[in-house]
Structure 1
Amino acid sequence: MDPVLAALPFPNIDPVLFSIGPLAVHWYGLAYVVGILLGWRYARILAGTNRLWFDGRPAMRVSDIDDFLIWGAVGIVLGGRLGYIFFYDFAAFMHNPLRMFEIWKGGMSFHGGLLGTIIAMIFFARKRGISVWSLFDVIAASAPIGLFLGRIANFVNGELWGRVSDVPWAVIFPTGGPEPRHPSQLYEALLEGPLLFFALYLLIFRFGKLQRPRYIGGAFLLGYGACRILVEFFREPDAHIGYLLGGWLTMGMVLSIPMLLIGLVAMAYAKPPTQPAPVGDSGSSH
Protein backbone atom coordinates (compact mmCIF):
# COMPACT_ATOMS: atom_id res chain seq x y z
CA MET A 1 0.00 0.00 0.00
CA ASP A 2 1.17 3.48 -0.79
CA PRO A 3 2.46 4.94 2.51
CA VAL A 4 0.87 8.29 1.65
CA LEU A 5 -2.54 6.62 1.35
CA ALA A 6 -1.99 4.80 4.66
CA ALA A 7 -1.01 7.95 6.54
CA LEU A 8 -3.30 9.64 9.02
CA PRO A 9 -4.71 13.03 8.02
CA PHE A 10 -3.81 15.96 10.22
CA PRO A 11 -6.81 16.84 12.43
CA ASN A 12 -6.48 20.48 11.35
CA ILE A 13 -7.52 21.98 14.68
CA ASP A 14 -7.69 25.76 14.59
CA PRO A 15 -4.69 27.07 16.60
CA VAL A 16 -6.99 29.88 17.82
CA LEU A 17 -9.34 28.62 20.53
CA PHE A 18 -11.59 31.67 20.33
CA SER A 19 -11.47 35.36 19.49
CA ILE A 20 -13.03 38.40 21.09
CA GLY A 21 -12.60 41.30 18.70
CA PRO A 22 -8.87 41.73 18.07
CA LEU A 23 -8.02 39.45 21.03
CA ALA A 24 -7.28 35.86 20.03
CA VAL A 25 -6.74 33.10 22.57
CA HIS A 26 -4.43 30.43 21.15
CA TRP A 27 -4.20 26.81 22.29
CA TYR A 28 -0.44 27.32 22.60
CA GLY A 29 -0.76 30.17 25.07
CA LEU A 30 -3.52 28.37 26.96
CA ALA A 31 -1.25 25.33 27.32
CA TYR A 32 1.37 27.48 29.05
CA VAL A 33 -1.16 29.05 31.41
CA VAL A 34 -2.85 25.78 32.37
CA GLY A 35 0.49 23.96 32.65
CA ILE A 36 1.88 26.59 35.01
CA LEU A 37 -1.27 26.61 37.15
CA LEU A 38 -1.49 22.81 37.42
CA GLY A 39 2.22 22.62 38.18
CA TRP A 40 1.74 25.23 40.91
CA ARG A 41 -1.07 23.19 42.48
CA TYR A 42 1.04 20.04 42.49
CA ALA A 43 4.04 21.91 43.92
CA ARG A 44 1.81 23.14 46.76
CA ILE A 45 0.90 19.53 47.56
CA LEU A 46 4.57 18.54 47.72
CA ALA A 47 5.53 21.50 49.87
CA GLY A 48 2.60 20.91 52.23
CA THR A 49 3.03 17.16 52.77
CA ASN A 50 5.31 16.87 55.80
CA ARG A 51 5.95 13.13 55.54
CA LEU A 52 7.74 13.58 52.22
CA TRP A 53 10.51 15.66 53.80
CA PHE A 54 13.52 14.85 55.92
CA ASP A 55 12.51 14.58 59.57
CA GLY A 56 8.98 15.57 58.52
CA ARG A 57 9.97 19.23 58.16
CA PRO A 58 9.40 20.78 54.70
CA ALA A 59 12.19 22.89 53.26
CA MET A 60 9.73 25.64 52.32
CA ARG A 61 6.28 26.96 53.12
CA VAL A 62 3.30 26.47 50.85
CA SER A 63 3.09 30.25 50.73
CA ASP A 64 6.58 30.29 49.19
CA ILE A 65 5.23 28.23 46.30
CA ASP A 66 2.34 30.68 45.93
CA ASP A 67 4.71 33.62 45.78
CA PHE A 68 7.07 31.88 43.37
CA LEU A 69 4.29 31.44 40.79
CA ILE A 70 4.88 34.79 39.09
CA TRP A 71 8.67 34.40 39.28
CA GLY A 72 8.46 30.99 37.65
CA ALA A 73 6.05 32.13 34.93
CA VAL A 74 8.36 35.01 33.97
CA GLY A 75 11.38 32.70 33.96
CA ILE A 76 9.63 30.15 31.74
CA VAL A 77 8.27 32.59 29.17
CA LEU A 78 11.21 35.00 29.01
CA GLY A 79 13.84 32.26 29.15
CA GLY A 80 11.97 30.08 26.68
CA ARG A 81 11.65 32.87 24.15
CA LEU A 82 15.22 34.12 24.52
CA GLY A 83 16.50 30.55 24.37
CA TYR A 84 14.67 29.91 21.11
CA ILE A 85 16.04 33.10 19.59
CA PHE A 86 19.66 32.47 20.58
CA PHE A 87 19.71 28.68 20.06
CA TYR A 88 17.53 28.34 16.97
CA ASP A 89 16.47 31.61 15.34
CA PHE A 90 19.14 34.25 15.91
CA ALA A 91 19.62 35.22 12.24
CA ALA A 92 15.89 35.81 11.72
CA PHE A 93 15.72 37.78 14.96
CA MET A 94 18.53 40.06 13.83
CA HIS A 95 16.63 40.67 10.59
CA ASN A 96 13.39 41.45 12.47
CA PRO A 97 13.82 42.02 16.24
CA LEU A 98 10.04 42.29 16.69
CA ARG A 99 9.88 38.50 16.21
CA MET A 100 10.79 38.22 19.88
CA PHE A 101 7.27 39.27 20.90
CA GLU A 102 5.39 36.94 18.51
CA ILE A 103 4.99 34.21 21.14
CA TRP A 104 1.56 33.21 19.83
CA LYS A 105 3.27 31.81 16.73
CA GLY A 106 5.25 29.34 18.83
CA GLY A 107 9.01 29.45 19.02
CA MET A 108 9.81 28.57 22.62
CA SER A 109 12.87 26.62 23.72
CA PHE A 110 12.58 24.22 26.63
CA HIS A 111 16.29 24.57 27.40
CA GLY A 112 15.94 28.35 27.47
CA GLY A 113 12.86 28.11 29.69
CA LEU A 114 14.78 25.79 32.01
CA LEU A 115 17.64 28.27 32.34
CA GLY A 116 15.20 31.12 32.93
CA THR A 117 13.41 29.16 35.64
CA ILE A 118 16.68 28.15 37.31
CA ILE A 119 17.76 31.79 37.49
CA ALA A 120 14.37 32.73 38.94
CA MET A 121 14.63 29.93 41.53
CA ILE A 122 18.13 30.98 42.62
CA PHE A 123 17.12 34.59 43.21
CA PHE A 124 13.83 33.65 44.87
CA ALA A 125 15.36 31.03 47.18
CA ARG A 126 18.09 33.41 48.31
CA LYS A 127 15.55 36.15 48.90
CA ARG A 128 13.43 33.84 51.05
CA GLY A 129 16.29 32.03 52.77
CA ILE A 130 15.13 28.58 51.66
CA SER A 131 17.05 25.68 50.15
CA VAL A 132 17.76 26.29 46.47
CA TRP A 133 18.16 22.56 45.83
CA SER A 134 14.85 21.68 47.47
CA LEU A 135 13.06 24.35 45.43
CA PHE A 136 14.67 22.83 42.32
CA ASP A 137 13.28 19.44 43.34
CA VAL A 138 9.71 20.64 43.84
CA ILE A 139 9.56 22.64 40.61
CA ALA A 140 11.24 19.85 38.62
CA ALA A 141 8.66 17.35 39.87
CA SER A 142 5.91 19.66 38.60
CA ALA A 143 7.47 20.51 35.23
CA PRO A 144 6.27 17.43 33.25
CA ILE A 145 2.69 18.68 33.51
CA GLY A 146 3.50 21.78 31.49
CA LEU A 147 5.76 19.86 29.12
CA PHE A 148 2.91 17.50 28.23
CA LEU A 149 0.48 20.30 27.47
CA GLY A 150 3.10 22.29 25.57
CA ARG A 151 3.90 19.37 23.26
CA ILE A 152 0.20 18.79 22.60
CA ALA A 153 -0.04 22.46 21.63
CA ASN A 154 2.93 21.98 19.27
CA PHE A 155 0.92 19.24 17.56
CA VAL A 156 -2.17 21.44 17.30
CA ASN A 157 -0.01 24.17 15.74
CA GLY A 158 1.33 21.65 13.21
CA GLU A 159 4.93 22.51 14.14
CA LEU A 160 8.04 20.57 15.20
CA TRP A 161 6.89 17.55 13.22
CA GLY A 162 9.00 14.45 12.74
CA ARG A 163 10.98 12.86 9.96
CA VAL A 164 9.40 11.19 6.94
CA SER A 165 8.10 7.75 7.89
CA ASP A 166 5.88 4.91 6.69
CA VAL A 167 4.64 3.82 10.13
CA PRO A 168 0.84 3.35 10.22
CA TRP A 169 0.38 6.31 12.55
CA ALA A 170 2.42 8.75 10.43
CA VAL A 171 0.70 12.08 9.83
CA ILE A 172 0.71 14.39 6.82
CA PHE A 173 1.24 17.84 8.33
CA PRO A 174 -0.01 20.90 6.40
CA THR A 175 3.42 22.57 6.61
CA GLY A 176 5.46 19.38 6.31
CA GLY A 177 5.05 18.64 2.63
CA PRO A 178 3.16 15.72 1.06
CA GLU A 179 5.09 12.99 2.86
CA PRO A 180 3.75 11.34 6.04
CA ARG A 181 5.86 12.06 9.10
CA HIS A 182 6.36 10.87 12.66
CA PRO A 183 4.08 12.82 15.04
CA SER A 184 7.15 13.49 17.17
CA GLN A 185 5.32 16.13 19.22
CA LEU A 186 3.08 13.35 20.58
CA TYR A 187 6.10 11.14 21.29
CA GLU A 188 7.59 13.95 23.33
CA ALA A 189 4.27 14.65 25.04
CA LEU A 190 4.02 11.07 26.32
CA LEU A 191 7.68 10.67 27.27
CA GLU A 192 8.26 14.08 28.83
CA GLY A 193 4.77 14.21 30.33
CA PRO A 194 3.11 11.16 31.93
CA LEU A 195 6.16 8.87 31.82
CA LEU A 196 8.53 11.36 33.43
CA PHE A 197 5.88 12.65 35.84
CA PHE A 198 5.06 9.21 37.24
CA ALA A 199 8.72 8.23 37.44
CA LEU A 200 9.36 11.28 39.63
CA TYR A 201 6.12 10.62 41.53
CA LEU A 202 7.33 7.15 42.48
CA LEU A 203 10.73 8.47 43.53
CA ILE A 204 9.01 10.99 45.82
CA PHE A 205 6.06 9.08 47.26
CA ARG A 206 7.40 5.51 47.17
CA PHE A 207 11.13 5.97 47.74
CA GLY A 208 11.22 9.23 49.70
CA LYS A 209 13.77 10.93 47.45
CA LEU A 210 12.48 14.41 48.26
CA GLN A 211 14.36 13.94 51.53
CA ARG A 212 17.63 14.06 49.61
CA PRO A 213 17.95 17.59 48.14
CA ARG A 214 18.91 17.72 44.43
CA TYR A 215 17.97 14.05 43.77
CA ILE A 216 14.58 14.77 42.17
CA GLY A 217 15.97 17.73 40.25
CA GLY A 218 18.79 15.52 38.99
CA ALA A 219 16.36 12.74 38.06
CA PHE A 220 14.30 15.25 36.08
CA LEU A 221 17.34 16.48 34.16
CA LEU A 222 18.45 12.91 33.46
CA GLY A 223 14.97 11.79 32.43
CA TYR A 224 14.21 14.76 30.23
CA GLY A 225 17.63 14.63 28.59
CA ALA A 226 17.24 10.93 27.78
CA CYS A 227 13.68 11.36 26.45
CA ARG A 228 14.61 14.36 24.33
CA ILE A 229 17.65 12.67 22.81
CA LEU A 230 15.54 9.61 21.96
CA VAL A 231 12.84 11.69 20.27
CA GLU A 232 15.45 13.66 18.31
CA PHE A 233 16.03 10.50 16.23
CA PHE A 234 12.43 10.84 15.00
CA ARG A 235 12.09 14.63 14.94
CA GLU A 236 12.95 16.71 11.89
CA PRO A 237 15.68 19.22 12.81
CA ASP A 238 15.09 22.89 12.15
CA ALA A 239 15.68 23.55 8.45
CA HIS A 240 17.97 26.53 9.05
CA ILE A 241 20.18 24.47 11.40
CA GLY A 242 19.96 20.94 10.05
CA TYR A 243 22.19 18.14 11.28
CA LEU A 244 25.52 18.67 13.00
CA LEU A 245 28.77 16.68 12.95
CA GLY A 246 28.30 14.22 10.14
CA GLY A 247 24.58 14.32 9.66
CA TRP A 248 23.09 12.70 12.79
CA LEU A 249 23.57 15.09 15.71
CA THR A 250 20.93 17.79 16.25
CA MET A 251 20.84 20.97 18.31
CA GLY A 252 18.31 19.34 20.63
CA MET A 253 20.81 16.57 21.36
CA VAL A 254 23.65 19.04 21.93
CA LEU A 255 21.59 20.94 24.48
CA SER A 256 20.34 17.77 26.19
CA ILE A 257 23.64 15.93 26.66
CA PRO A 258 24.80 18.29 29.46
CA MET A 259 21.47 17.68 31.19
CA LEU A 260 22.25 13.96 31.34
CA LEU A 261 25.64 14.58 32.92
CA ILE A 262 24.44 17.21 35.38
CA GLY A 263 21.50 15.03 36.36
CA LEU A 264 23.74 12.03 37.06
CA VAL A 265 26.12 14.10 39.18
CA ALA A 266 23.25 15.70 41.14
CA MET A 267 21.73 12.31 41.92
CA ALA A 268 25.09 10.82 42.89
CA TYR A 269 25.84 13.59 45.38
CA ALA A 270 22.32 13.95 46.80
CA LYS A 271 22.16 13.30 50.54
CA PRO A 272 19.92 14.24 53.47
CA PRO A 273 20.45 17.73 54.89
CA THR A 274 22.80 18.02 57.86
CA GLN A 275 20.01 19.63 59.88
CA PRO A 276 16.24 19.74 59.53
CA ALA A 277 14.73 22.48 57.36
CA PRO A 278 12.29 24.99 58.86
CA VAL A 279 8.79 23.67 59.32
CA GLY A 280 6.50 24.69 56.41
CA ASP A 281 2.93 25.82 56.81
CA SER A 282 -0.07 23.97 55.45
CA GLY A 283 -1.37 26.46 52.92
CA SER A 284 -1.22 30.09 53.96
CA SER A 285 -0.12 32.85 51.62
CA HIS A 286 1.13 36.36 52.04
Structure 2
Amino acid sequence: MTVLAIPFPDIDPSAFVIPGLGLPIRWYALAYIAGLVLGWKVVAGLMARPKLWSGYPPMAPKLAEDLLTWMVAGVVLGGRLGFVLFYEPGYYLSHPLEIPMVWQGGMSFHGGFLGVVVAGLWFCRRHRLRALSVADAIALAVPFGLLFGRIANFIKPELWGRPTDAPWGVVFPVDAAQVCNGIAGQVDGFCARHPSQLYEAGLEGLVLAVILWALMAAGALRRPGLLTGVFLMGYGLSRAFVELFRQPDAQFQGPHNPLGYALQFGDWGLTMGQILSIPMVLVGLYFALRAARGAQP
Protein backbone atom coordinates (compact mmCIF):
# COMPACT_ATOMS: atom_id res chain seq x y z
CA MET A 1 0.00 0.00 0.00
CA THR A 2 1.31 3.45 -0.90
CA VAL A 3 0.44 6.29 1.46
CA LEU A 4 1.10 10.00 1.72
CA ALA A 5 4.40 10.71 3.40
CA ILE A 6 7.10 13.36 3.62
CA PRO A 7 10.52 12.65 2.10
CA PHE A 8 13.34 13.37 4.54
CA PRO A 9 14.64 16.90 3.85
CA ASP A 10 18.07 17.14 2.27
CA ILE A 11 19.93 18.55 5.28
CA ASP A 12 23.69 18.28 5.55
CA PRO A 13 24.51 16.85 9.02
CA SER A 14 27.47 19.27 9.10
CA ALA A 15 26.52 22.89 9.75
CA PHE A 16 29.83 24.12 8.31
CA VAL A 17 33.46 23.17 7.81
CA ILE A 18 36.27 25.08 9.53
CA PRO A 19 38.30 26.73 6.72
CA GLY A 20 41.84 25.52 6.39
CA LEU A 21 41.32 22.53 8.66
CA GLY A 22 38.57 20.73 6.79
CA LEU A 23 37.00 19.91 10.17
CA PRO A 24 33.20 19.55 9.93
CA ILE A 25 31.12 21.01 12.75
CA ARG A 26 27.93 19.00 13.04
CA TRP A 27 24.51 20.24 14.03
CA TYR A 28 24.56 17.72 16.88
CA ALA A 29 27.61 19.38 18.45
CA LEU A 30 26.11 22.84 17.93
CA ALA A 31 22.90 21.71 19.65
CA TYR A 32 24.85 20.67 22.76
CA ILE A 33 26.84 23.91 22.75
CA ALA A 34 23.78 26.11 22.18
CA GLY A 35 21.80 24.33 24.90
CA LEU A 36 24.58 24.65 27.47
CA VAL A 37 25.44 28.27 26.67
CA LEU A 38 21.78 29.32 26.68
CA GLY A 39 21.30 27.42 29.94
CA TRP A 40 24.21 29.32 31.48
CA LYS A 41 22.72 32.65 30.36
CA VAL A 42 19.28 31.73 31.68
CA VAL A 43 20.60 30.74 35.12
CA ALA A 44 22.81 33.83 35.37
CA GLY A 45 19.89 36.04 34.35
CA LEU A 46 17.59 34.51 36.97
CA MET A 47 20.21 35.03 39.68
CA ALA A 48 20.36 38.72 38.78
CA ARG A 49 16.63 39.20 39.49
CA PRO A 50 16.09 39.13 43.28
CA LYS A 51 12.36 39.89 43.00
CA LEU A 52 11.75 36.43 41.51
CA TRP A 53 12.93 34.67 44.65
CA SER A 54 11.79 34.28 48.21
CA GLY A 55 14.25 36.45 50.08
CA TYR A 56 17.26 36.48 47.75
CA PRO A 57 18.66 34.45 44.81
CA PRO A 58 20.39 31.20 45.79
CA MET A 59 23.74 32.26 44.31
CA ALA A 60 25.60 35.15 42.70
CA PRO A 61 25.26 35.44 38.89
CA LYS A 62 29.02 34.99 38.43
CA LEU A 63 28.79 31.47 39.89
CA ALA A 64 26.65 30.39 36.92
CA GLU A 65 29.79 30.00 34.82
CA ASP A 66 31.33 27.62 37.35
CA LEU A 67 28.05 25.72 37.50
CA LEU A 68 28.12 25.35 33.70
CA THR A 69 31.48 23.56 33.90
CA TRP A 70 30.07 20.96 36.28
CA MET A 71 26.87 20.61 34.24
CA VAL A 72 28.94 19.81 31.13
CA ALA A 73 30.88 17.14 33.04
CA GLY A 74 27.65 15.70 34.43
CA VAL A 75 25.93 15.57 31.05
CA VAL A 76 28.84 13.91 29.23
CA LEU A 77 29.95 11.43 31.90
CA GLY A 78 26.44 10.61 33.12
CA GLY A 79 25.03 10.36 29.61
CA ARG A 80 27.72 7.95 28.49
CA LEU A 81 27.70 5.79 31.62
CA GLY A 82 23.91 5.73 31.54
CA PHE A 83 23.93 4.36 28.01
CA VAL A 84 26.53 1.75 28.96
CA LEU A 85 24.68 0.58 32.09
CA PHE A 86 21.05 0.92 30.96
CA TYR A 87 21.22 -0.16 27.33
CA GLU A 88 24.31 -2.28 26.52
CA PRO A 89 26.02 -3.46 29.73
CA GLY A 90 26.90 -6.86 28.25
CA TYR A 91 28.65 -5.41 25.22
CA TYR A 92 30.70 -2.88 27.17
CA LEU A 93 31.60 -5.44 29.81
CA SER A 94 33.27 -7.33 26.97
CA HIS A 95 34.68 -4.16 25.36
CA PRO A 96 35.56 -1.85 28.30
CA LEU A 97 38.05 0.19 26.27
CA GLU A 98 35.18 1.46 24.12
CA ILE A 99 33.34 3.05 27.06
CA PRO A 100 35.13 6.44 26.73
CA MET A 101 34.59 6.53 22.94
CA VAL A 102 31.66 8.96 23.02
CA TRP A 103 32.35 9.98 19.41
CA GLN A 104 31.04 6.59 18.30
CA GLY A 105 27.59 7.51 19.64
CA GLY A 106 25.58 6.22 22.56
CA MET A 107 24.29 8.71 25.14
CA SER A 108 21.36 8.39 27.55
CA PHE A 109 19.26 11.36 28.66
CA HIS A 110 18.40 9.66 31.94
CA GLY A 111 22.08 8.98 32.59
CA GLY A 112 22.95 12.57 31.74
CA PHE A 113 20.21 13.73 34.08
CA LEU A 114 21.63 11.68 36.95
CA GLY A 115 25.08 13.06 36.13
CA VAL A 116 23.73 16.61 36.36
CA VAL A 117 22.04 15.81 39.70
CA VAL A 118 25.29 14.50 41.18
CA ALA A 119 27.34 17.40 39.81
CA GLY A 120 24.74 19.94 40.94
CA LEU A 121 24.53 18.56 44.47
CA TRP A 122 28.31 18.57 44.76
CA PHE A 123 28.44 22.16 43.48
CA CYS A 124 25.75 23.33 45.90
CA ARG A 125 27.40 21.63 48.84
CA ARG A 126 30.78 23.11 47.98
CA HIS A 127 29.38 26.64 47.78
CA ARG A 128 26.72 26.16 50.50
CA LEU A 129 23.82 26.95 48.19
CA ARG A 130 20.11 26.13 48.45
CA ALA A 131 20.04 23.05 46.23
CA LEU A 132 16.33 23.04 45.37
CA SER A 133 16.37 26.70 44.34
CA VAL A 134 19.40 26.12 42.12
CA ALA A 135 17.63 23.08 40.65
CA ASP A 136 14.57 25.23 39.86
CA ALA A 137 16.75 27.61 37.86
CA ILE A 138 18.32 24.71 35.97
CA ALA A 139 14.85 23.29 35.27
CA LEU A 140 13.93 26.51 33.46
CA ALA A 141 16.98 26.16 31.22
CA VAL A 142 16.95 22.45 30.35
CA PRO A 143 13.95 22.39 27.94
CA PHE A 144 15.85 24.64 25.50
CA GLY A 145 18.69 22.13 25.37
CA LEU A 146 16.19 19.31 24.85
CA LEU A 147 14.53 21.24 22.02
CA PHE A 148 17.85 21.78 20.22
CA GLY A 149 19.01 18.23 20.90
CA ARG A 150 15.89 16.53 19.54
CA ILE A 151 15.97 18.67 16.40
CA ALA A 152 19.61 17.58 15.99
CA ASN A 153 18.47 13.95 16.38
CA PHE A 154 16.10 14.54 13.45
CA ILE A 155 18.78 16.16 11.28
CA LYS A 156 21.35 13.41 11.95
CA PRO A 157 18.98 11.34 11.56
CA GLU A 158 18.61 8.95 14.52
CA LEU A 159 16.00 7.84 17.06
CA TRP A 160 13.31 7.86 14.38
CA GLY A 161 9.83 6.49 14.99
CA ARG A 162 7.92 3.34 14.20
CA PRO A 163 6.33 2.73 10.78
CA THR A 164 3.16 4.73 10.21
CA ASP A 165 0.61 5.46 7.50
CA ALA A 166 -0.05 8.96 8.90
CA PRO A 167 0.28 11.69 6.26
CA TRP A 168 3.06 13.35 8.29
CA GLY A 169 5.16 10.18 8.33
CA VAL A 170 8.74 10.72 7.14
CA VAL A 171 10.78 8.43 4.88
CA PHE A 172 14.20 8.62 6.50
CA PRO A 173 17.27 7.95 4.30
CA VAL A 174 18.37 5.14 6.60
CA ASP A 175 15.30 3.22 5.42
CA ALA A 176 16.25 3.35 1.75
CA ALA A 177 17.13 -0.36 1.69
CA GLN A 178 14.59 -1.55 4.24
CA VAL A 179 11.29 -3.04 3.09
CA CYS A 180 8.40 -2.75 5.52
CA ASN A 181 7.36 -6.38 4.97
CA GLY A 182 3.65 -5.67 5.11
CA ILE A 183 3.78 -3.15 7.95
CA ALA A 184 1.41 -0.21 7.57
CA GLY A 185 3.14 2.89 6.29
CA GLN A 186 4.81 1.91 3.03
CA VAL A 187 5.88 4.38 0.38
CA ASP A 188 6.94 2.53 -2.78
CA GLY A 189 7.93 -0.38 -0.56
CA PHE A 190 9.88 1.70 1.95
CA CYS A 191 8.94 2.67 5.49
CA ALA A 192 7.33 5.96 6.39
CA ARG A 193 7.99 6.55 10.06
CA HIS A 194 6.80 8.78 12.86
CA PRO A 195 9.17 11.77 13.24
CA SER A 196 9.38 10.95 16.93
CA GLN A 197 12.37 13.24 17.38
CA LEU A 198 10.11 16.19 16.54
CA TYR A 199 7.39 14.88 18.86
CA GLU A 200 9.95 14.95 21.67
CA ALA A 201 11.24 18.38 20.64
CA GLY A 202 7.71 19.71 20.87
CA LEU A 203 6.72 18.07 24.17
CA GLU A 204 9.98 17.91 26.15
CA GLY A 205 11.24 21.18 24.73
CA LEU A 206 8.67 23.71 23.61
CA VAL A 207 5.58 22.69 25.62
CA LEU A 208 7.51 22.03 28.82
CA ALA A 209 9.37 25.35 28.48
CA VAL A 210 6.08 27.25 28.12
CA ILE A 211 4.63 25.56 31.22
CA LEU A 212 7.71 26.15 33.36
CA TRP A 213 8.17 29.78 32.35
CA ALA A 214 4.47 30.50 32.87
CA LEU A 215 4.78 29.10 36.40
CA MET A 216 7.93 31.14 36.96
CA ALA A 217 6.07 34.30 35.91
CA ALA A 218 3.37 33.40 38.46
CA GLY A 219 5.95 33.27 41.27
CA ALA A 220 6.96 29.59 41.30
CA LEU A 221 10.59 30.38 42.21
CA ARG A 222 9.33 31.45 45.64
CA ARG A 223 8.38 27.82 46.31
CA PRO A 224 11.65 25.86 46.16
CA GLY A 225 11.30 22.55 44.35
CA LEU A 226 8.07 23.34 42.49
CA LEU A 227 9.66 23.91 39.07
CA THR A 228 11.99 20.97 39.61
CA GLY A 229 9.00 18.74 40.32
CA VAL A 230 7.03 19.99 37.33
CA PHE A 231 10.04 19.48 35.06
CA LEU A 232 10.55 15.91 36.26
CA MET A 233 6.89 15.04 35.79
CA GLY A 234 6.66 16.83 32.45
CA TYR A 235 9.72 15.16 30.98
CA GLY A 236 8.86 11.72 32.34
CA LEU A 237 5.29 11.80 31.01
CA SER A 238 6.36 13.24 27.64
CA ARG A 239 9.09 10.65 27.15
CA ALA A 240 6.85 7.76 28.20
CA PHE A 241 4.18 8.91 25.73
CA VAL A 242 6.54 9.37 22.77
CA GLU A 243 8.02 5.90 23.41
CA LEU A 244 4.72 4.60 21.99
CA PHE A 245 5.73 6.04 18.61
CA ARG A 246 9.52 5.68 18.76
CA GLN A 247 11.38 2.82 17.08
CA PRO A 248 12.11 0.18 19.76
CA ASP A 249 15.64 -0.13 21.09
CA ALA A 250 17.41 -2.75 19.00
CA GLN A 251 19.19 -4.07 22.10
CA PHE A 252 15.91 -5.40 23.48
CA GLN A 253 14.23 -6.64 20.31
CA GLY A 254 13.89 -10.31 19.48
CA PRO A 255 11.58 -12.81 17.77
CA HIS A 256 9.23 -12.83 20.76
CA ASN A 257 9.73 -9.14 21.59
CA PRO A 258 9.35 -7.15 18.35
CA LEU A 259 8.39 -3.95 20.16
CA GLY A 260 11.64 -3.92 22.14
CA TYR A 261 10.19 -4.06 25.64
CA ALA A 262 12.85 -4.03 28.36
CA LEU A 263 10.23 -5.43 30.74
CA GLN A 264 7.61 -7.65 29.11
CA PHE A 265 4.38 -9.15 30.40
CA GLY A 266 2.96 -11.32 27.61
CA ASP A 267 1.92 -9.01 24.78
CA TRP A 268 2.37 -5.92 26.93
CA GLY A 269 5.43 -4.29 28.40
CA LEU A 270 7.53 -1.22 29.07
CA THR A 271 10.45 0.13 27.08
CA MET A 272 13.64 1.15 28.85
CA GLY A 273 12.76 4.81 28.27
CA GLN A 274 9.42 4.30 30.03
CA ILE A 275 10.96 2.36 32.90
CA LEU A 276 13.53 5.10 33.55
CA SER A 277 10.83 7.78 33.33
CA ILE A 278 8.58 6.29 36.02
CA PRO A 279 10.84 7.25 38.97
CA MET A 280 11.25 10.73 37.46
CA VAL A 281 7.47 11.23 37.52
CA LEU A 282 7.16 9.94 41.10
CA VAL A 283 10.03 12.05 42.43
CA GLY A 284 8.68 15.05 40.54
CA LEU A 285 5.24 14.56 42.07
CA TYR A 286 6.81 14.45 45.53
CA PHE A 287 8.72 17.71 45.01
CA ALA A 288 5.72 19.48 43.47
CA LEU A 289 3.37 18.47 46.32
CA ARG A 290 6.01 19.34 48.91
CA ALA A 291 6.49 22.80 47.38
CA ALA A 292 2.74 23.36 47.04
CA ARG A 293 2.35 22.74 50.77
CA GLY A 294 4.96 25.38 51.41
CA ALA A 295 7.68 23.07 52.75
CA GLN A 296 11.08 24.74 52.88
CA PRO A 297 14.40 23.05 51.97
Check whether TM > 0.5.
yes
**Structure 2 equivalent of residue 150 of structure 1:** 149
**Structure with more helix by fraction:** 1
In 1, Cα distance between the equivalents of 2:225 and 2:109?
A: 20
Contact 1:54 1:272 in 2 (8 A): no
Taking only the aligned residue pairs, the percentage that are identical comes to: 47
In 2, Cα distance between the equivalents of 1:158 and 1:125?
A: 37
Contact 1:211 1:272 in 2 (8 A): no
| 1:62 alignment partner, SS class | coil
- TM-score, normalised with respect to structure 2: 0.86
In 2, Cα distance between the equivalents of 1:28 and 1:215?
A: 31
**Structure 1 equivalent of residue 124 of structure 2:** 125
Shift of 1:25: 1.8
| 1:25 alignment partner, SS class | strand
**Structure 1 equivalent of residue 80 of structure 2:** 81
In 1, Cα distance between the equivalents of 2:91 and 2:124?
A: 36
Contact 1:172 1:181 in 2 (8 A): yes
In 2, Cα distance between the equivalents of 1:190 and 1:45?
A: 24
Shift of 1:108: 1.5
- The 5 Å alignment of 1:43-192 reads 43-55=43-55, 57-176=56-175, 177=178, 178-192=190-204
Shift of 1:94: 3.3
Cα distance, 1:105–1:185 mapped onto 2, change above 3 Å: farther
* Unaligned residue ranges in structure 2 (runs of 5+): 179-189, 253-259
Cα distance, 1:97–1:215 mapped onto 2, change above 3 Å: same
In 2, Cα distance between the equivalents of 1:260 and 1:139?
A: 17
**Structure 2 equivalent of residue 257 of structure 1:** 278
* Unaligned residue ranges in structure 1 (runs of 5+): 276-286
Q: Does 1:240 align with 2:261?
A: no
Report the number of matched residues: 271
Instruction: Map Cα deviations across residues 35-55 of structure 1 (whole Å, 9 max, x no partner).
Output: 000111111121111111013
**Structure 1 equivalent of residue 230 of structure 2:** 219
Shift of 1:104: 3.8
**Structure 2 equivalent of residue 283 of structure 1:** none
Shift of 1:100: 3.1
Q: Counterpart of 2:271 in structure 1: which amino acid?
A: T
Instruction: Map Cα deviations across residues 90-130 of structure 1 (whole Å, 9 max, x no partner).
Output: 23323443443443444211100100000001110011011
* 195-204 or 22-31, larger mean C-alpha shift: 22-31
Instruction: Map Cα deviations across residues 46-80 of structure 1 (whole Å, 9 max, x no partner).
Output: 1111111013x112111121211101111111111
Q: Counterpart of 2:248 in structure 1: which amino acid?
A: P
